[in-house]
Amino acid sequence: MSDRELRPLPYGKQSIDDEDVAEVVRVLRSDFLTQGPEVARFEAALCEATGARYAVAVANGTAALHLACLAAGVRDGDVGVVPTITFVASGNAVRYAGGSVAFADVDPDTALVTPASIEARVSELAAKGKRPKVIVPVDMTGAIADLAAVRAIADRVGAVVIEDAAHSLGARRLLDVGGRETEVRGASCQLAHMAILSFHPVKHVTTGEGGAVTTNDEALYKELCDLRTHGITKQGLEQSDGPWYYEQRVLGFNYRITDIQCALGTSQMRKLPAFIARRREVARRYDAAFAAHASVVRPLTVAAGSDSAYHLYVVRLVARDGEDEAGVAARRKALYLALAEQKIYTQVHYIPVHRQPDFRRAGMGHEHLPGASAYYASCLSLPMFPAMTDADVDRVVESVVRAAG
Ligand SMILES: Cc1ncc(COP(=O)(O)O)c(C=O)c1O
């Protein structure tokens, strides 16, 4: 294939078909573009897929995180424990609510937060007479974090668990729930108090921009609904002024999602099982091919009993004899650039959030987090989306091995 014929392969991409387009057009021609019936339909589809009792669809995943932090009671001076390997939004949400972030480390082989690191942050806070208000485990790349261990810590210190499931819609993991090994689904809230989802186009299903909070707790659900619309409610109020009467009880936001977006989301949700199945096939093909090159690159480890939803497919460059992190990072940069020349557009997920200048300026992020450092130096997210063909996967593998070998 000549350069001009090479199909560009981004690291992630939406799959939109005629049925999705028809659903959006149907809503555009209907009476409600927003605050109509499509939002509840989409929320019902999310509940069915995740197993959570309630879903509150909102404008984006960041808004979902913000509302979850507020509903968890994060206020000025509170602290949230957040892994440093995540999108900045997971930490920003704690800050929007007035809190600060204590960053936890990850296992470089899985990119998942380690319970030991959460314990370390909890102990440091305890030494200052504090405890975290929220703990935000992130299901990085689509593999569910050890939510059982996180919940046990949270219960001990009285913290609320907000699962950042932006990557894990459709994921499963066997975990201990109430003493029994149970299949836990991403955003199911079997172990977390609340979970958040994102429907950005690179995610498993898309609404353009969009997000949701799921929960099994009715009180949290009602609060999230109010916060989504300015903190306004009509529930349980005397209507003596007239039927229009409402009250703003708390300071909320306009974080509503439109019916146009939700119609797309519901249509996409019908294809979620097929999307996830194809992502898993792509991952298996990558895994099998890279197994023959284990001295060059290694896929992330997926824990036994864990069935990733593969939002991302991450490989790590293997350090050569005597090579330090800076050496690996330099080769990773070269690999990224060489793949881009082949129109294979990889990405790095993520720059450790504790290194971000804005967090440091705000007095956070001075921890030494060696797991995150090793992971960040070596990781690369390869193309992973349902419309990839087997030939696309083979092309990526060949290019990676040629450039990195
Ligand atoms: C782990 C994680 N959390 C939160 C978000 C925020 O979601 P959104 O982009 O929909 O605001 C993202 C989005 O990329 C994410 O990857």
| Structural domain range at position 344 | 272-404
Nearest ligand 1 atom, CA 210: 10
Task: Provide, rounded to the nearest whole percent, the portion of the chain with pLDDT above 90.
Answer: 95
Q: How far apart are the first and last CA of the chain?
A: 22
> Is 7 a member of any domain?
no
Q: What is the CA radius of gyration of the chain?
A: 22
Q: What is the distance in A from the centroid of ligand 1 to the CA of 88?
A: 8
Q: Tell me the H-state helices in 29-114.
A: 38-50, 61-71, 88-96
Average pLDDT taken over every residue of the chain: 97
pLDDT digits (tens, 9 = 90+) for 255-300: 999 999 999 999 999 999 999 999 999 999 999 999 999 999 999 9
**CA of residue 179 to ligand 1 center, whole Å:** 32
CA–centroid distance, residue 165 to ligand 1 (Å) = 9
Q: Residue 10 falls within a domain, yes or no?
A: no
pLDDT, position 3: 57
| Same domain? 120 vs 148 | yes
Q: Residues 142, 130: one domain? A: yes
- Please answer whether residues 317 and 380 qualify as being in contact, where contact means their C-beta atoms are separated by less than 8 angstroms: yes
Please give the pLDDT value at position 5. 83
CA distance 139 to 273: 19
Is the predicted pLDDT of residue 30 greater than 90, yes or no?
yes
- Whether 3 maps to a domain, the answer reads no
Average pLDDT of 160-186?
97
Query: Where does a domain end: 226, 250, 269?
Result: 269
Residues 287 and 235 in one domain: no
Residues 279, 198 share a domain: no
- Please report, as a single letter, which amino acid is at residue 171: A
| Calpha distance 127→141 (Å, rounded) | 33
Residue 405: pLDDT band with limits 50, 70, 90: confident
277 neighbors 310 (Cβ within 8 angstroms): no
12, part of any domain? no
**Ligand 1 centroid, distance to 87 Cα (angstroms):** 6
Q: What is the DSSP string of 82-123?
A: EESSS-HHHHHHHHHTT-EEEEEPB-TTT-PBPHHHHHHHHH
Tell me: pLDDT of 1 over 70: no
Asked if residue 202 and residue 334 are part of one domain, the reply reads no
Q: Which atom of ligand 1 is nearest to the CA of 138?
A: 1
pLDDT band at 317 (very low <50, low <70, confident <90, very high): very high
pLDDT tens for residues 72-104?
Answer: 999 999 999 999 999 999 999 999 999 999 999
106: CATH: 3.40.640.10
Q: Which atom of ligand 1 is nearest to the CA of 62?
A: 11
Q: How far apart are CA 253 and CA 220, in angstroms?
A: 16
Q: Does position 170 have pLDDT exceeding 90, yes or no?
A: yes
Q: 194 and 323 in one domain?
A: no
Residue nearest atom 14 in ligand 1 by C-alpha distance: 87
d(CA 198, CA 63): 10
Question: Does residue 263 sit in the same domain as residue 292?
Answer: no
CA of 191 to the centre of ligand 1 (A): 21
Last residue of a domain, one of 269, 301, 327: 269
The pTM for the full model equals 0.98
Name residues contacting ligand 1 (CB within 6 A).
Answer: 60-62, 86-87, 89-90, 138, 164, 166-167, 198, 200, 211
The answer on 310 and 265 residing in a single domain is no
Task: Indicate the SS3 state at residue 365.
Answer: coil
Q: Whose CA is nearest to atom 7 of ligand 1?
A: 61
Residue 11: inside a domain = no
Mutate which of 62, 66, 92, 199 for ligand 1 pocket (most atoms within 8 A of beta carbon): 62
Q: What is the pLDDT of residues 333-387, one digit of tens each?
A: 999 999 999 999 999 999 999 999 999 999 998 778 999 999 999 999 999 999 9
Looking at the 3D structure of the chain, how many domains does it have?
2
Is residue 220 domain-shared with residue 278, that is, in the same domain? no
Contact of 270 with 22, CB cutoff 8 Å = no
Question: Residue 115: its pLDDT value, please?
Answer: 98
